[in-house]
Amino acid sequence: MDMKKHKNTHKGAAILFFIFSLLFFVLFARFVQLQVTGVADGQVLAVKAEEKYRQQRKIEAKRGTIFDRNGEVLAQDVPSYTVVAVLDPKMTTDPDHPRHVVHPHKTAKKLAPLLDMDVDEVERILKKDAKQVEFGPHGRNISYELKQKIEALHLPGIGFIRDTKRFYPNGNFASYVIGYAQKSENNETVGKMGLEKKLDKYLHEKDGYVSFAGDINGFRLPNTKEEIVPPDNGANVYLTIDGKIQTFLEDAINEVEKQYKPKKIIAIVADPKTGKILAMATRPSFDPNKRNITNYFNDAISYPYEPGSTMKIFTLAAAINEGVYNGNERYRSGSYKVGPNIIRDHNKVGWGTITFNEGVQRSSNVAFSILVKEKLGEDRFLQYLHRFHFDQKTGIDLPGEAVGQIHYRYPIERITTGFGQGTSVTPIQQIQAATAIANGGKMMKPYVVDRVVDPDTGKVIMKHEPEVVGQPITEDTAHKVLDILETVVTSEHGTGRPYQIEGYRVAGKTGTAQIPSLNGGYLTGWENYIFSFLGMAPKENPRLLMYVAVQQPKLSYTETGAAPVSHIFTSVMKSSLQYLHIQPSAERKAAKKPSTGIEIGSYAGFSTEEAVQKLKEKGLVPVVIGKGQQIEKHVPRAGERIIAGERVMLKTEGEAVMPNIRGWSLRDVMKAAELLGLRTSTKGNGYVVSQSIRPGAIVKKGDYLIVELAEPREWDEAVIEKQKEAAEKKSDGPQE
């Protein structure tokens, strides 16, 4: 038995020896192969080792900022944060300083109002079986201000992940010009609309990185080299848009939208000498931060429609340029036969036999039908339509431009085109054509992008220069047209009388365009028109050109379509001319006509008490900014006229103190900001519900003021919400 057992033992040992020897030789052969080739399963081992120990950290790049022409920010990348909650108890090493959520219910009760969530919903998230959780859309992309409010609660376990988001500090300010950009699936910011889309190749950024050899914990190994790829920041874009003029326009449009509730509003302000667009706004609009968009087209460039009588400007210019216009010649107004069709003046009966000049002032369709049919001739008039580029796009540097259509097939269409019916054009086409009238016959291409600049080197990558795109009329013709268009505003017969601006000579033409019906023909009814005005000032040397159109406003029986249009035109044009320091016309200064409004005197040097008393006696509302005993300066300035009940900002000597601006309109906010030299940023529309600089705080020139506004119907709720936030912040102490 022993011999047999011994024999089996030797046999088993031999087998094991053979197996281990075989394994050793296999492993040794594999080791030699790896040493020689450096490849395993098709993978280069050196590369895999490099990947394992090579650490790479992203260096964030910044998308280009969009500025107005004065350097004010219109769109920029700002830090944003995602709220996270740590639920893992193992993260807490010191019970006196917990690093996880200890009390879900107490945490939820304090956190939920700031995230605009239900307490139960937040508590449910905080009780999940997870190490770390987020709060969905309500907890993403929060602002730095909200982050500070949450941090002030000192909630254990609540932290933040930093990111960036695209921010538009002025809300719906020129939103169809700027557009918007948003994060894509791979977390890149991409332009989706407006200039953000058009200029994405310039604005787009590319992150850099730093790469180094590191250990398993991410720490750099000693004596290793770093590889640094610097970030490529997006280029900065400077627009021709002037923030002040755009603010005047947005404010005026808001007032008209609130009062008249029109279907659409379109307004453009341009420099006719260069083609620069200084302001452009439409309604309905949207806030790029919220992207609450109902219309994806910029109606100022993408909405062709029959312009109505503003088209008569160019028919008149063609007739004068061809030498066939005699303003003193008389004709029979009322009706004009074109084949089987009869064209009638807008009052249906006309004004008897009148001169052509009076026909222009009264906006007679018959007068312009005669000019096209008998004076110019249809073929020659068509040539002028082409010379004014009504057959092509302007080429403005905004995406989505449309082009109108010249309907010239039938005899009646050729005649009605002369007074703006049948043929369609876009607002920007009318602006471009009108630059020829305001600029001595030279027609300027409109543009909104002034230059693109590399933020790292300051090098100008792209620059727009004023471009003459044609000279449809002579300089002499342009002056004659301006002379006649001024009488449209000043004459007792003129349809443009509501567009007079005290101190300045205005030249322009009204328009009342019919709206085609889906069932054929045109809509009927007092309000179913597009009311418009195309005007320029000062007439003797136009510096500003403005087009305003208001579609289907809700008018009272005592109002005409000029009411909402003139409110926008006169307020914006006057404020803009004064802002640009364009002196009133000499003739207007000399003429002593009765003035409307209350003239502001000079109160500089007055005692604060005396200035306040005198302004109150005039029916104005004085607002004292500062604690000094003597007035240093004020806005509005001496010589300006305002209506009763308006605020007058009085800056005293010494340090300036921030007033309580809650409930103020944006116009009043801008007065105070101008007086104090503050940089402003607004959110929302309507009236102020909160301000970033607290009332009573000392302010200095260049300080940044952020105001949040709400519509009147939302104002009370917004104020109550702000008061509630302030009360909670005071009552809630640190969580134990």
Please give the radius of gyration of the chain, using alpha carbons only, rounded to the nearest integer.
35
d(Cα 461, Cα 454) in Å, to the nearest integer?
Answer: 7
204: helix, strand or coil: coil
d(CA 435, CA 441): 8
Give the β-pairing of 277-283 and 227-229.
unpaired
Angle formed at CA 140 by CA 136 and CA 146, multiple of 5 degrees: 125
The answer to whether 300 and 268 have CB atoms below 8 angstroms apart is yes
Helix (H, G, I), strand (E, B) or coil at 55: strand
Catalytic residue among 309, 566, 571, 575: 309
CA 111 to CA 130: how far, in whole Å?
19
Cβ neighbours of residue 535 closer than 8 Å, sequence gap 6 or more: 489, 496, 499, 506, 507, 508, 509, 545, 546, 569, 573
- Whether 575 is a known active-site residue: answer no
The token pair at 623 is 């607002």
723: phi then psi, degrees, rounded to nearest 5: -65, -40
Rounded to whole angstroms, the Cα distance separating 478 from 436 reads 7
- DSSP assignment of 87-149 equals --GGG-S-TTS--S-S-HHHHHHHHHHHHT--HHHHHHHHTSSSSEEE-GGGGSSB-HHHHHH
**Helix, strand, coil tally for the chain in percent (to 5):** 35, 25, 40
Going along 309-389, which residue ranges are E strands?
Answer: 330-332, 335-338, 341-344, 353-355
- Distances from the Cα of 53 to the Cαs of 50, 482, 734, in angstroms? 5, 76, 43
> Rounded to an integer, what distance in angstroms lies between the CA atom of residue 635 and that of residue 3?
121
Which of 572, 559, 437 is CA-nearest to residue 501?
Answer: 572
Cα separation, 277 vs 431, whole angstroms: 10
The closest of 83, 102, 84, 82 to 92, measured between CA atoms, is 102
Sign of CA pseudo-dihedral 550, 551, 554, 556:
positive
Tokens at 86, concatenated: 């740590």
Tell me the C-alpha to C-alpha distance, in Å, between residue 273 and each of 306, 409, 439, 507, 573: 26, 35, 6, 16, 16
Name residue 679's amino acid.
R
d(CA 72, CA 282): 21
Strand partners, 690: 708
Pair of tokens at residue 500:
């007079």
Catalytic residues: 309
